[in-house]
């Protein structure tokens, strides 16, 4: 199977599972994945499509040099502003996932809050999170896309968008979706722990850093996760791959 076809299938699977897990929001939010060596050509969900119905063939194939109204080529304006600029300026972002998923977004709405090393899943994100504290409305201005792209810096893979949601980037669809999944799991634990009103038990920095390295070195975890998710869809909703 060709690389582009496989990327289409995996990204469609990511959409379907995001809907199953409750990460979606009406027909908003956007996922994209690069399909060219330089990362400038990418696939993204078409405007107005619900995550639960997206098929591999539905994904729009565009490149960052495209000009004009994004609706004319079937892409939501906010998706175009954010994803085109990140693909253009952050080459390591082969896959970009943007959601307003419940627990991570809750943390993004707490004044000055920073993600805490409260459990093993949280440790995966040790020193990988950037924060945007400057919500200014919908991302419709190209300058906003440039600004957000710059927040990822040289090594961050998660961006908490204050009063908005989160973005996750990764070197593949499988790795980005695995990050998104564990981010929401860790965020859920963190919100529940905060809701008790008791002090958080924070994992020491050196232990969290060690666990983060173990996460990164764990063999094929993201690939196995994606393969398992696609196997379920192959049985229950095989149209995703069409």
pLDDT of residue 217: 94
Rounded to whole angstroms, what are the CA distances from 208 to 112, 113, 122, 123, 192? 21, 18, 8, 5, 20
Q: Of 93, 78, 65, whose CA–CA distance to 149 is shortest?
A: 93
**3-state helix, strand and coil shares in percent for the chain, rounded to the nearest 5:** 50, 15, 35
Tens digits of residue pLDDT in 53-72: 999 999 999 999 887 788 87
Dihedral pair phi/psi, residue 137, rounded to 5°: 105, -170
137 pLDDT band, cuts 50/70/90, is: confident
Chain segment 184-210, per-residue pLDDT in tens: 999 999 999 999 999 999 999 999 999
Helix axes 3-20, 173-195, angle to 10 degrees: 20
Q: Please state whether the predicted TM-score (pTM) of the whole model is above 0.85.
A: yes
User: What is the pLDDT, as a whole number, of residue 14?
Assistant: 98
Mean pLDDT in the chain? 96
Q: Which residues contact 21 (CB under 8 A, 6 or more apart)?
A: 181, 184
Q: Cα(201)–Cα(190) distance, rounded to whole angstroms?
A: 11
Report d(CA 80, CA 150) in Å as an integer: 16
pLDDT of residue 57: 98
**pLDDT (tens digit per residue) in 143-192:** 899 999 999 999 999 999 999 999 999 999 999 999 999 999 999 999 99
User: Please, are residues 241 and 235 in contact by the beta-carbon 8 Å criterion?
Assistant: no
CA–CA separation, 115 and 222 (whole Å): 22
Other CB atoms closer than 10 Å to residue 15's CB: what's the count?
A: 28
DSSP H helix total and E strand total for the chain:
8, 7
Residues 71-99: tens digit of each pLDDT: 878 899 999 999 999 999 999 999 999 99
Angstrom distance (rounded) from CA 80 to CA 46 = 11
User: Nearest CA to 114 among 156, 82, 144, 86?
Assistant: 156
């Amino acid at each position: 199977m060709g690389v582009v076809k496989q990327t289409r299938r995996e990204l469609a699977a990511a959409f379907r599972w995001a809907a199953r897990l409750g990460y979606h929001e009406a027909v908003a939010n956007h996922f994209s994945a690069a399909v060219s060596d330089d990362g400038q050509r990418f696939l993204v969900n078409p405007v107005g499509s619900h995550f639960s119905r997206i098929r591999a063939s539905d994904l729009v194939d565009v490149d960052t040099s495209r000009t004009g109204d994004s609706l004319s080529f079937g892409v939501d304006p906010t998706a175009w502003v954010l994803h085109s600029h990140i693909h253009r300026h952050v080459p390591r972002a082969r896959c970009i996932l943007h959601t307003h998923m419940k627990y991570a977004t809750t943390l993004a709405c707490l004044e000055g809050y920073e993600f805490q090393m409260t459990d093993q899943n949280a440790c995966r994100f040790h020193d990988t999170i950037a924060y945007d504290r400057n919500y200014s409305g919908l991302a419709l201005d190209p300058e906003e896309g440039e600004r957000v792209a710059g927040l990822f810096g040289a090594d961050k893979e998660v961006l908490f968008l204050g009063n908005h949601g989160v973005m996750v980037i990764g070197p593949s669809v499988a790795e980005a979706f695995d990050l998104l999944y564990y981010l929401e799991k860790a965020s859920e634990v963190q919100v529940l722990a905060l809701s008790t009103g008791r002090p958080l038990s924070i994992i020491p920095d050196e232990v969290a850093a060690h666990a983060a390295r173990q996460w990164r070195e764990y063999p094929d975890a993201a690939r196995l996760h994606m393969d398992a998710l696609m196997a379920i869809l192959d049985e229950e909703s095989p149209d995703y791959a069409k």
